[in-house]
Amino acid sequence: MRETEAQGQESVGEPLDRVDGRLKVTGGAKYAAEFPVPRVAHAVLVTSTIASGRVVAMDATAAERAPGVLKVLTPFNAPRLPGAPAVRGGTMRVPTLLQDPMVRYNGQPIGLVVAETFEQAIAATDLVRVRYATERPVLDMDRAPRNPPETVRPMRGERVTHRGDYARGLADAAVRVDQTYTTPLENHNPMEVHSTLALWEGDALTLYESTQGISNVRSSVARTFGVPPEKVRVVSHFTGGGFGSKGGPWSHEALAAMAAREVGRPVKLVLTRRQMFGPVGGRARTVQRVTMGATASGVLTATRHASTSNTSMLEDWLEPAVTPTLMLYACPNLETQYDLVRLNVGSPTFMRAPGETTGTFALESAMDELAVALRMDPVALRLANYAERDPESGRPWSSKGLRACYALAGERFGWSRRNPEPRATRDGRWLVGWGMATATYPARRNPASALARLLPDGRALVRAGTQEIGCGTYTVMTQIAADALGLPPDRVRFELGDTTMPENPASTGSVTAASTGTAVHEVATQLRSRLVKLAIADPASPLHGAAEGDVRVTDGRLTLASDGGSGESYATLLARQGGQPVEVTVSSRAGAEAQQYSMHSFGTVFAEVRVDEELGEIRVSRVVTAHDVGRVLNAKTASSQIIGGVVWGIGQALLEETLVDPHTGRYVNADLAEYHVPVNADVGAIDVHFVHEADAHVNPIGVKGAGEIGITGVGAAIANAVHHATGVRVRDLPITLDKIIRR
Ligand code: MOS
């Protein structure tokens, strides 16, 4: 954005209100299930009531006779799909598409009822009689056998890593900590349940879809049906949260398309809340052993982090919990290891900073335990082990403002007034505790593309096939394009969410601002340059013959810096050029910088908790954060991202846990009454700060990403605060009151 900085009208960074805000609050924003499609039929999943075994027979006679029912699909009559992924296809997503009668978790889709109305379809699901051959499910992670090591494949890095001499480092330590931390199964529970509206026109399929990745859905569904990707169009203008569960397709997309083809009508398939537990992923359970050794002055000599997590019987999905341990502190001797255990539960997947959320809970709890053992301030311990470069790769950071984060958040929180003694601070019946932790998340960038078109009236249209999952993508892309074009944001229209648009990555891994944002910046910059060149070459333009570098564009007007003259507007220029729009398309991807630097967002979380001494009730009264996420594109939406992350972290620390019946594998708390996410009453004051470090290396717009980092470190900061308040160290999330008062 260097080009426009001198023009004094920057929108980037400003707390611009969401450009889609009015649509959202007036109900004008259309979600997948809301697109009006004539003759739509409704499909409802039939799900298994056993966790392991086989469907021997399904009697759909009564269901088929029920009012409004058009079709009942079962493993015995469903059409074969040429490209349905095979079970245990490595780390590939394996949906259950009625291609075989096997049951691998309780709640697995085993059938589909299609009817005239949703109510008729859901009523008829109860009439489908299922006979099973039941096997004993594997549900006890602590007793189940571990996967063969060759099936344990992290998405990045190795199953086992070594740095330096861990055994020697541990022997040299003056103080050691060796503890096991556990995090439970969780489910994403976005407000909007997963929904698909499938529509065939000949052999062309359109899916209106609630997704974080329209291109992922297109390629996967095309492969499943054995049709070219061009035949599948995926549309998603708004997604009501995903948190990882909508990163790629599950079973319901292809099943909706299958049903639509079978009944010869458009089909809408909306999951029930209960069906959000199992069929669309969740967070794996982790058992993490962390061993750390340090000198008497707190310098780390050894770290070992071994994480065992569960996967399903369908896939070998690995929760990458050791990733923060590999890069966060300058420890010379280090070992990490992953193990997997297959259970009869739904497949785990990406959820809210996968790896960093679970991993920082273990690592940052262990660091706090080490600080206690050393009688050292927790911030001082972290500063004593500050990594000046990436300790794993040896590369320099593209930027790292973490020291400034500790200083800023610590100061705002009042950390220097902390009495290190546990149980020392009281407020009536409440024990008050202060804890902190470090936050981190990788800054990634994926290939992205965009189109920019200047319209004859001088407004711009910018398109990129990305997604709006609630982060503010419509808004920040509008701001980026506006600045690069020299237009006010209200004269730029940004459109997204359609595979007919230039291709973009999924809105996962906090990549959207850096990836799509760079493509939008580049396409708008090129369009501006194209228009300036048109003016310069046009004898009728007041800018005729000027040097490109002397032309300024402000408020849609091209002027010369030298004469301060009136110049002309984009609209005037275009009118003279024949009144046709001017359009540019670009594709952009990371360059060599990705190999030269280690790129991460960083931050810190300080939490205050109040614990009722008698009852063990825990309230998070105050959280102060400071993050270095590179350039902040919009002060308001970025703060909202971090606030949302902290709220997720409160959920992780105190509330969220998916309970599976140990005998039947049934999801016990599969609704929002029993699966607790934080509500307003659970959330105290959240004070969000950014450290504005310019990152000159990460990408042309200096953005590292603020999507997921907000949750990282929060679980540990709260657990550390609970320890400080009560003297009780809870290493098993969530921290429920029974774990406080049982000792
Ligand atoms: Mo995020 S868990 O990568 O959608």
| φ, ψ of residue 287 in degrees (nearest 5) | -125, 110
And the tokens for 653? Answer: 């620390």
Largest CA distance in the chain: 86
Look at residue 89 and tell me whether its pLDDT is greater than 70. no
Mutate to test the pocket of ligand 1, among 352, 446, 468, 471 (most ligand atoms within 8 A of CB): 352
555 torsion bin: left (phi>0), alpha (psi -120 to 50), beta (else): left
Give the mean pLDDT of 708-718.
Answer: 98
For 300, the 3-state DSSP assignment is strand
pLDDT at 743: 55
Distance of CA 743 from the midpoint of ligand 1 (Å): 37
Distance of CA 655 from the midpoint of ligand 1 (Å): 20
Residue of minimum CA distance from atom 4 in ligand 1: 244
First vs last C-alpha separation in the chain: 57
| Apex 94 CA angle, 92 and 98, nearest 5 | 155
How are strands ordered across the β-sheet holding 195-201? 69-73, 109-115, 41-47, 267-270, 195-201, 204-209, 232-235
Look at residue 690 and tell me whether its pLDDT is greater than 70. yes
Confidence of residue 8 (pLDDT cuts 50, 70, 90): low
pLDDT at 692: 83
| φ, ψ of residue 676 in degrees (nearest 5) | -90, 120
Question: Considering only CA atoms, which of 608, 599, 569, 586 is closest in space to residue 686?
Answer: 608
Instruction: Please spell the DSSP secondary structure of 349-360, one letter per residue.
Output: ---SSTTHHHHH
Look at residue 590 and tell me whether its pLDDT is greater than 80. yes
| φ, ψ of residue 231 in degrees (nearest 5) | -85, -5
Query: What whole-number distance in Å separates Cα of residue 313 and Cα of residue 148?
Result: 14
pLDDT at 561: 81
pLDDT at 85: 82
Contact 279, 47 (CB under 8 A): yes
pLDDT at 91: 62
Number of the ligand 1 atom closest to the C-alpha atom of 350: 2
61 Cβ neighbours under 8 A, 6+ residues apart? none
Look at residue 7 and tell me whether its pLDDT is greater than 60. no
705 CB within 6 A, ligand 1 = no
Question: Considering only CA atoms, which of 134, 139, 137 is closest in space to residue 53?
Answer: 134
Q: For CA atoms 656, 662, 667, 670, give the dihedral sign.
A: negative
pLDDT per residue as tens digits for the range 553-574: 999 999 998 776 789 999 999 9
pLDDT at 1: 42
Number of the ligand 1 atom closest to the C-alpha atom of 354: 2
And the tokens for 428? Answer: 């009536």
Return the residue matching tokens 């220029």.
573
714, HSE (Cβ side, Cα atoms, 13 Å): 33
Look at residue 252 and tell me whether its pLDDT is greater than 60. yes
Look at residue 334 and tell me whether its pLDDT is greater than 60. yes
pLDDT per residue as tens digits for the range 346-362: 999 999 999 999 999 99
Q: What is the mean pLDDT of the chain?
A: 96
244 CB within 6 A, ligand 1 = yes
> What value does the CA radius of gyration of the chain take, rounded to a whole number of Å?
27
pLDDT per residue as tens digits for the range 279-302: 999 999 999 999 999 999 999 999
pLDDT at 2: 40
3-state secondary structure 120-138: HHHHHHCCCEEEEEECCCC
pLDDT at 3: 41
- Give the percent of the chain with pLDDT over 70: 98
And the tokens for 272? Answer: 């029930």
Look at residue 606 and tell me whether its pLDDT is greater than 90. yes
pLDDT at 742: 63
Distances (CA, A) of 480 to 2, 473, 590, 630: 12, 11, 18, 15
Mutate to test the pocket of ligand 1, among 186, 319, 323, 508 (most ligand atoms within 8 A of CB): 508
pLDDT at 723: 98
350 CB within 6 A, ligand 1 = yes
Look at residue 389 and tell me whether its pLDDT is greater than 90. yes
Give the mean pLDDT of 123-136.
Answer: 98
Question: Considering only CA atoms, which of 572, 651, 110, 626 is closest in space to residue 353?
Answer: 651
Contact 207, 267 (CB under 8 A): no
pLDDT at 5: 43
Query: What whole-number distance in Å separates Cα of residue 291 and Cα of residue 300?
Result: 11
pLDDT per residue as tens digits for the range 18-61: 999 999 999 999 999 999 999 999 999 999 999 999 999 999 99
Give the mean pLDDT of 9-25.
Answer: 95
Number of the ligand 1 atom closest to the C-alpha atom of 245: 4
Distances (CA, A) of 458 to 84, 222, 550, 575: 48, 39, 21, 10
Q: Which residues pair with 197 in a beta bridge?
A: 208, 268
pLDDT per residue as tens digits for the range 193-204: 999 999 999 999
586, HSE (Cβ side, Cα atoms, 13 Å): 19
Query: What whole-number distance in Å separates Cα of residue 634 and Cα of residue 199?
Result: 37
Write the DSSP symbol of residue 229: G
Distance of CA 704 from the midpoint of ligand 1 (Å): 15
pLDDT at 222: 96
Strands 600-612 and 195-201: unpaired
Contact 253, 96 (CB under 8 A): no
Write the DSSP symbol of residue 389: S
Confidence of residue 6 (pLDDT cuts 50, 70, 90): very low
Name the H helices within 318-395.
Answer: 323-327, 356-374, 378-384
Distance of CA 523 from the midpoint of ligand 1 (Å): 26
pLDDT at 566: 85
Look at residue 637 and tell me whether its pLDDT is greater than 50. yes
Strands 551-554 and 557-560: antiparallel
Question: Considering only CA atoms, which of 312, 213, 282, 284 is closest in space to residue 253?
Answer: 213
Number of the ligand 1 atom closest to the C-alpha atom of 506: 4
Flag whether the pTM goes above 0.85: yes
Number of the ligand 1 atom closest to the C-alpha atom of 351: 2
458 CB within 6 A, ligand 1 = no
Which residues are designated catalytic?
708
And the tokens for 621? Answer: 């009264």
pLDDT at 86: 80
And the tokens for 79? Answer: 């059409």
Distance of CA 398 from the midpoint of ligand 1 (Å): 22
143 Cβ neighbours under 8 A, 6+ residues apart? none
Contact 462, 523 (CB under 8 A): yes
Residue type, 350: F
